[in-house]
Chain A
Amino acid sequence: MSGKVMSMAEAVRRFVADGDTVYAAGFTHAVPYAAGHEIIRQRKRNLILCRATPDLMYDQLIAAGCARKLVFSWAGNASVGLLRAVRRGVESGSLEVEEYTHYGMTARLFAGAAGLPFYPLRSNTGSDLVRVNPNIKTVTCPYTGETLSTVPALNPDVAIIHVQRADAEGNAQLWGIFGEQREAAFAARRVILAVEEIVDERVIRSDPNRTVIPGFVVSAVVEEPWGAHPSFLQGYYDRDNEFYIQWDKISSSDESLHAYLEEWVFGVADRREYVRKLGAEKVVALTPKRYYSVPVDYGLYV
């Protein structure tokens, strides 16, 4: 067994430090909630939370007092409304924010992952974002002479990523929406990989094109079934849209939000207990029918 396989409690204890810049990856899909809840339980402080879409997970981390700053590009509760803890933090001035566009955020990670100091793009020009974010600058193209907008590289201290399966070394396979997971993994100094299932190396090697992250950038491998709930994991569970709608009410006051954290985060020891508390009925309701792709033939060359 690889020395990387551990519990989420151990992974967060070893690889997330107070003051760290954290990027929890996954665009709507595979949001690593199990890690987020463990960070709240361990009462990490002064984190700089980065994510294109903060989602409810960052609303929870911010309400729990884990963050001092939010770096993002779209802070909403998709199809429901606003993120209320984020909004209270910004409107009261207690939460520092730095914002980009989606392309800007992903390009920042790409530059970080590619060992470049910045990335040029055509977005931002004409937008007031350039007025309020001094980190968005311009560069003159040395070939055409045109002016391009630039965003600085982002190299988080730790990236947290949830995937369907990986081997014990962290060679990770992800399918469905893979928003910015690869960029986050290569940009970060440390990677916590949560997986629905740890599988034999042979499973990974049977389909190498599906492997998106090599084990050598991964620090910890945590087997965490249903670790992305209430977001979804393609082929494993659907998004718990009912909860996303309920969150609007839960987060409407600090009191009700903290009552939620007491019950669902501090009130359970780990994700296993959380899933038990979620209940069989919910688990069944969110499980999709199987729908396999047609296998491909890689060929055996002897």
Chain B
Amino acid sequence: MEYTPAELMVITAARRLRDGERVFVGVGMPNLAANLAKRSHAPGLTMIYESGVVDANPSRLPLSIGDACLVTNASLVCSMMEVFSFYLQRGFIDVGFLGGAQVDRFANINATVIGPYDRPKVRLPGSGGACEIAVNAKRILILSPHQKRRFPERVDFVTSPGFLGGRKERLRLGLPGGGPEAVVTDLGVMECDETGELVLTSLHPGATVEQARANTGWSLRVADDLPVTPAPTAEELRLLREELDPKRIYLKGGE
């Protein structure tokens, strides 16, 4: 069955979510991944949004993290102060999704500026809640297209700390969350090893190690055992195309 790189990214991310987990969700692909997991293997997933919506049950695809459809039929709505304090900082979030303009070797994320801060080449939106998610969530999943400019050796600006210069540095700073677990790209999956460095651990069907290396800004190490990502099932594609993003708002990319 034919599928797009964007669809495979969302499906691969969804499979990493486990039933019963509490997920801090952003809009776009993370939202699709969480909803896909909830409608397939993880019906007990709780979706929490930084707008303060807890256990959302959206009747349509939300176009922002503050969409009215997230509130209607949710279990609870609280203030931002409460969602960041009680839910995130208190340690109730199992998984946080993040993305950014740049992700580096130790999975630090830049969503602030390209170039120097004072006179940026490109001014990006900034942290939003990303920094607190990176600091506090038990594990972090990152979604990003695999391009060399997006995966530099070191980000121009650390908006959200991954493992900084390595796992030990994060430990030394005492950040409560577990840090990044994996980066899902359109070529494969990279996971943080025992030092915190991102290592290629699976390849999507048709992608090659050479492609992944050519599109990574550091000398990318490859796991000894390198499985091929299982292709999407017909049911996963049906859920995405017919129920979750029928207008192809987020999944038109990469066709």
Interface residues of A (CB under 8 A from B): 27-29, 52-53, 72-76, 78-79, 82-83, 86-87, 90-91, 93, 99-103, 106-107, 109-110, 121-129, 132, 146-147, 175-180, 182-183, 232, 234, 238-239, 241, 288, 291
Contact B120 A90 (CB under 8 A): yes
A93-B119, A291-B72 known; A74-B127 Cβ under 8 A: yes
The complex places the Cα of A109 from the Cα of B80 at a distance, in Å, of 11
Q: Which residue of A lies closest to B89 (CB)?
A: A122
Q: Which residue of B lies closest to A149 (CB)?
A: B135
A-B contact count (CB 8 A): 170
Interface residues of B (CB under 8 A from A): 27-28, 50-53, 63-68, 71-72, 77, 79-81, 84-85, 88-89, 112, 117, 119-132, 134-136, 157-161, 164, 170, 173-176
Interface residue SS majority, chain B: loop
Note all chain A residues with C-beta closer than 8 A to B159: 127-129
The complex places the Cα of A302 from the Cα of B89 at a distance, in Å, of 44
Note all chain A residues with C-beta closer than 8 A to B127: 73-74, 99-102, 127, 129
Note all chain A residues with C-beta closer than 8 A to B128: 52-53, 73-74, 76, 101-102
Contact B135 A123 (CB under 8 A): yes
Note all chain A residues with C-beta closer than 8 A to B122: 91
Least distance between A104 CB and chain B CB atoms (Å): 8
The complex places the Cα of A99 from the Cα of B63 at a distance, in Å, of 25
Contact A27 B117 (CB under 8 A): no
Note all chain A residues with C-beta closer than 8 A to B126: 72-76, 99
Note all chain A residues with C-beta closer than 8 A to B77: 175-178
Contact A183 B81 (CB under 8 A): yes
Query: What are some 8 contacts across the A-B interface (CB < 8 A)?
Result: A76-B128, A90-B120, A101-B128, A107-B81, A122-B176, A176-B77, A238-B68, A291-B72
The complex places the Cα of A291 from the Cα of B57 at a distance, in Å, of 15
Interface residue SS majority, chain A: loop
A122-B89, A178-B79 known; A101-B129 Cβ under 8 A: yes
Contact A177 B71 (CB under 8 A): yes
Note all chain B residues with C-beta closer than 8 A to A86: 123
Note all chain A residues with C-beta closer than 8 A to B176: 122
The complex places the Cα of A126 from the Cα of B105 at a distance, in Å, of 16
The complex places the Cα of A110 from the Cα of B173 at a distance, in Å, of 26
Q: Which residue of B lies closest to A81 (CB)?
A: B125
Note all chain B residues with C-beta closer than 8 A to A122: 89, 132, 135-136, 175-176
Note all chain B residues with C-beta closer than 8 A to A74: 125-129
The complex places the Cα of A90 from the Cα of B117 at a distance, in Å, of 10
Contact A127 B63 (CB under 8 A): no
Top 7 A-B pairs, shortest CB-CB distance: A28-B66, A126-B161, A76-B125, A74-B128, A78-B64, A103-B84, A102-B129
